[in-house]
Chains A and B, each alone.
Chain A
């Protein structure tokens, strides 16, 4: 499997994602500088976290106009899987590849802590390996992760089963205190209507090995690998 991990000025989770894909999961992953115009032979694209362009103007606002993003738009339009993590999620929303926007946390605080996530559905290339009752313990680290969309968009997201992850407490309940940033409907991550583009604020790449205290995040990447296996070798058992 070939993964392309985008790199913008200010990306800082790019190496972590490459490490997980290469050394934890044993796949091929390469960094792709934002000025590149082609994704090459990539089977999937990861837009990593960080502070692209210093978060100037708005988070992700400038990165979305990088040359590489045109290639990502075309790749996504042809059904290629794209996953945005944290700043990557913000970039995908700014690019219009995902609906809604990420705004300042309701608390105005930068939140850096471990939270619990529940995968709302297994019906996506990013959640298919996550058991329905499994809570994922993964870290967040963001100041602007409050998911916002207008009522119509939010209704459509729910109708189409596009909400992929919600913030929950240790008992799996979506309570007010379990929501770290004030996101509407406790939304931590969503996908597009075609289900091949997704974004989430938490960092699965920082929780993919036992040595890091938790390996739950690995399930997100394993889901993607599983989906790619099916996509690339539909006849294989």
Chain B
């Protein structure tokens, strides 16, 4: 199995990277570019076939270490 995790900055948190990328895209001539959010993508390979167990573990790991709940949101899929 593989866990695919996406971590993004919370809406209320200032995201200077996103803002900078947004203005770069606009300067390059891409039209209609709205807010950009720069986050992280992680892939974690997992042994076994217990999807529910894996979901619980990954959720806990996301909460404890992979993301910081003060500043980030996360979502993930187990494939």
Interface residues of A (CB under 8 A from B): 57-58, 61-62, 65, 93-94, 100-101, 103-108, 146, 148-150, 182
B interface residues (Cβ-Cβ under 8 A, vs A): 9, 12-14, 16-17, 20, 65-66, 68, 70-71
Which residues of B sit under 8 angstroms from A61, Cβ to Cβ? Answer: 65, 68
Contact of A149 among B9, B14, B20, B70 (CB under 8 A): B70
Q: A57-B65, A61-B65 are in contact. Are A100 and B16 (CB under 8 A)?
A: no
- The answer to whether B20 and A108 touch across the interface, beta carbons within 8 angstroms, is yes
Kindly identify which residue among B12, B17, B65, B68 contacts A104, using a CB–CB cutoff of 8 Å. B17
Flag if B71 contacts A103 (CB, 8 Å).
yes
Inter-chain contacts of A146 with B (CB < 8 A): 14
**Across the interface, do B14 and A148 meet the contact criterion of CB distance under 8 Å?**
yes
**Shortest beta-carbon distance, B41 to chain A, in Å?**
13
A208 CB to closest chain B CB (Å) equals 31
Set of chain A residues within 8 Å of B12, measured between Cβ atoms: 150
Give the distance to chain A from B13, nearest Cβ to Cβ, in Å.
Answer: 6
Q: Which residues of chain A come closer than 8 Å to B70, judged between CB atoms?
A: 93, 100-101, 148-150
Q: How far is the CB of B2 from chain A (nearest CB, A)?
A: 19
Contact between A108 and B65, CB atoms less than 8 A apart? no
Chain B min CB distance to A102 (Å): 9
The answer to whether B16 and A108 touch across the interface, beta carbons within 8 angstroms, is yes
Q: Is the CB–CB distance between B65 and A148 below 8 Å?
A: no
A-B contact pairs, 17 of them (CB 8 A): A57-B65, A57-B66, A58-B68, A61-B68, A94-B68, A101-B70, A101-B71, A103-B13, A103-B71, A104-B16, A104-B17, A105-B16, A106-B16, A108-B17, A146-B14, A148-B14, A150-B12
